[in-house]
Amino acid sequence: MASGQLLFDETGQPFIVLREQDRQKRLTGTEALKSHIIAARAVANTVRSSLGPRGMDKMLVSPDGELTITNDGATIMEKMDVDHHIAKLMVELSKAQDDEIGDGTTGVVVLAGALLEQASTLLDKGIHPTKISDGFDLACKKALETLDKISEKFPINDREALVRTAMTSLGSKIVNKCLRQLAEISVDAVFCVADREAKDVNFELIKVTGKIGGHLEDTVLVKGVIIDKTMSHPQMPKELKNAKLAILTCPFEPPKPKTKHKLDITSVEEFKQLREYEKETFETMIKQVKESGATLAICQWGFDDEANHLLHHHNLPAVRWVGGPEIELLAIATNGRIVPRFSELTPEKLGSAGLVRELSFGTAREKMLCVEQCPNSRAVTIFVRGSNKMIVDEAKRSLHDAMCVIRNLIKDDRIVYGGGAAETACAIAVAAEADKIVGIEQYAFRAYADALEAIPLALAENSGLAPINTLTELKAAQIGQNAPHLGIDCVLAGTNDMRQQGVMETLTSKKEQLSLATQMVRMILKIDDLRVPDDEERSYPM
C-alpha cells in the first residue's frame, strides 16, 4: 500500500506525493540475509568462469571508454561497477587477498560465493545464522589443519622447481604464450632482491616498466635501472662505459630567494651583467660536477637551454627530469649517494655503472636510458614489451602475481598441489569430521565440505570436462590411494597427478584463501539489517 497527498505546481498541474510504504519497506532478519547472499553470489559467479588455466577473460570498459582485458580476479573486482553494499565486501575480500598474498584472488571470491550458497540452503532449513557461522569457523580450522598435514617441503634452492611454481600462477593468464620465459624472469628478479636471512623481499627494488611494440618474447630482465628519459642534448654520447654518476636533486640554475622577489632591468648593461652572472653560475656548477670525477649527471629537476648548451660544451652528459623513485633506485643500484647541493659533491658520493646506453625501438625510434652492470644487483628492472597497452598491462599484473608466489615461498617454503587437489583433500577431511560431531554444527560442516568442492567443480567446468563425474572420480581416487596430490587435469595432459604435472601452490596462499573467505562469509551471516539513507517522499506527476 502507498499513502499519497494531492498537490499542485506553479502552473496548476496536479501531482501526487507518494509515501511508498510497500516499496520502502526495509528487509530484516532472514529476508535481509537472503538478499545479501544473492548480491554477493552474483559477484562471485562473475569471476567463477575465469578460474584456472582454461578460464575465460573479461573485457572491462571504464566510464571514459578505456578497455581492460584480464582474468586476474583482483583487477576484475576492482574495476567492476558494484552498487550493492554487500557486494562491495566481496571486492574488499579480493583486494585483501591481493595485498596480503598477491595470488589466488579469483579462488578466494569463488570459495566465498560457494560458502554463501551453502549458507542459503541451511537458512532454508531453519538453522540459525549464528549456528551456521560457528560451524563454518570450526570447519575452517579443520581444513587448515588438513592443509598443514598434506603440505610438503619445497626445495627453495631448486631453480627449476621455483620456475614450475611460477608457471602455475602464470598458467591461467593471457600471457601463458610465454609461460616459461616470464616465470624465469619472475624467479630471477625476486632472487636478485631477496633477503634470504630475513626471509623477506622488497618489491620496491623491482621496477616493472613497459613499452608498446615488439613481441611479448622481447620482455627482458635488466640487472640495473631503465628510465624513460634520454640525454638532455641530442649531440651528447649515446653510450658511456665505466660511467661515474652524479645523482643530483638540485637544479642547474642560479639560486633564487625563498620569498617572492622582483628584479627590474632598466638598461642593456644590466641585462648583460645578469646574463654573465647566470653563465658563471652554470659554469661553476658544471666545474664542481666535473672536479668530483663524474662523467654523467642525473638531475631530478630540469634546466634551461643555456645550461644544456654549456653542459654539452663542457663534455658533461646529463639527464634531466628523473623522478624521485627512479633516483632512489639509481642510487641503490650504483651505490651512489643522492646529493642535494653542488658544494657537497665528492668522489665518494658518485655512483658507478659499467654501461649506460640509450635504447631505441620501433619505427618512431622511441628512446629510454638503460643503466646496466651496476655494482649492486639488488635493484632490477623488468622491461615488458607487447603489441598493445592491454597486453603490456596484463603482463605486468601477471608478473606481479608470479613474483608474489616466489616471495611467499621464501617466507614459508611449504607447498600444496593445485588443480583443486588441496580443496578436495580438505573437503574429504571436513566431511569425515562432520560424522563425529554431535550437534547442529554437523550440517555446517557438511555444507563447508560441499563449498570446498566448488573450486575443483569450477576448474573442471572451465576445462570443458563433465564437472560432477570428474569430481566424483577425483574424490574416489584420493580416498582410495590416500593421494592428496591428485587434482583436475585442466590442461588435458593425460594424468591428474599434480605432482607429475608440476602444478603447485604455496601453503601460505591456500590457507589465506580459506581464512579470508570464511571470515567474510561469517561477517555477512551476522548482518540482518541494512539501512541506506534515502528520501521517504518521492514525487510522481499525474
H/E run at residue 200: strand 200-201
CB 60 within 8 A of CB 54: no
Cα distances (angstroms) measured from residue 112 to each of 43, 90, 133, 346, 506: 10, 8, 13, 59, 19
Spatial neighbors of 105 by CB under 8 A, at least 6 apart, are: 72, 73, 74, 77, 94, 97, 98
Give the other-Cβ count within 10 Å of 31's Cβ: 12
Query: Which of the residues 75, 105, 230, 508 is marked catalytic?
Result: 105
Spatial neighbors of 10 by CB under 8 A, at least 6 apart, are: none
CA 210 to CA 228: how far, in whole Å?
10
423 CA to centre of own chain: 24
Helices (H), 305-440: 305-313, 324-334, 389-411, 421-434
Query: Which of the residues 68, 72, 146, 230 is marked catalytic?
Result: 72
CA 389 to CA 170: how far, in whole Å?
19
Query: Which of the residues 70, 106, 334, 424 is marked catalytic?
Result: 106
CA 456 to CA 32: how far, in whole Å?
30
Amino acid, single-letter form, for residue 218:
D
- Answer yes or no: 72 catalytic: yes
- Answer yes or no: 401 catalytic: yes
Query: Which of the residues 98, 103, 393, 401 is marked catalytic?
Result: 401
Catalytic positions: 72, 105-106, 401
